[in-house]
Structure 1
Amino acid sequence: MKKTRSRAKQTTSLQERLNAFADDIFHKAERLPPGAERDQLLKRARTAEIAADIDQWVSSPGLQSPT
């Protein structure tokens, strides 16, 4: 018997979702006092921003495939 995966249709782009996630994490980190937990949240937010930048770069129309 073959199982099918349940798939969700995304209504926003990956870049928009990553940016929204990073903004949310930044706002949570701002409310925390300086410390390890705040640093960890800021690191996660920065990682999400970098992922959004990479997605934008990969999706750009100027990207050429190797010949």
Structure 2
Amino acid sequence: MPARRSPVQSLTFEYRLAQEAINLRLQANGMPAGVRRTELLRKARQIDVAGEINNWLSSPGLQPPT
């Protein structure tokens, strides 16, 4: 039996992260102040940080810990 191929991603990981953060912020902007809105904004910020960490980890100048 041949090995299963994983689906090819047409969009980059960074792009998908950015789009998700934008979507969360748009959802939050349509809500009144409250717990759910705060959670959406927090999640958007976490996604921003994940993108920054991913950029740092994939940078060519990254040095291994000593």
Q: Give the TM bin, normalised by the shorter chain.
A: 0.7 to 0.9
How far, CA to CA, are the matches of 1:12 and 1:64 in structure 2? 28
Structure 1 runs (4+) deviating above 3 angstroms are: none
Q: What's the counterpart of residue 11 of structure 2? A: 12
Q: What's the counterpart of residue 46 of structure 2? A: 47
Aligned-partner residue type, residue 51 of structure 1: A
1:9 alignment partner, SS class? coil
Higher normalized contact order (CA 8 Å, seq sep 6+, divided by chain length): 1
How far, CA to CA, are the matches of 1:38 and 1:64 in structure 2? 38
The more displaced of 20-29 and 4-13 is 4-13
Unpaired segments ≥5 residues, structure 2: none
Q: What's the counterpart of residue 22 of structure 2? A: 23
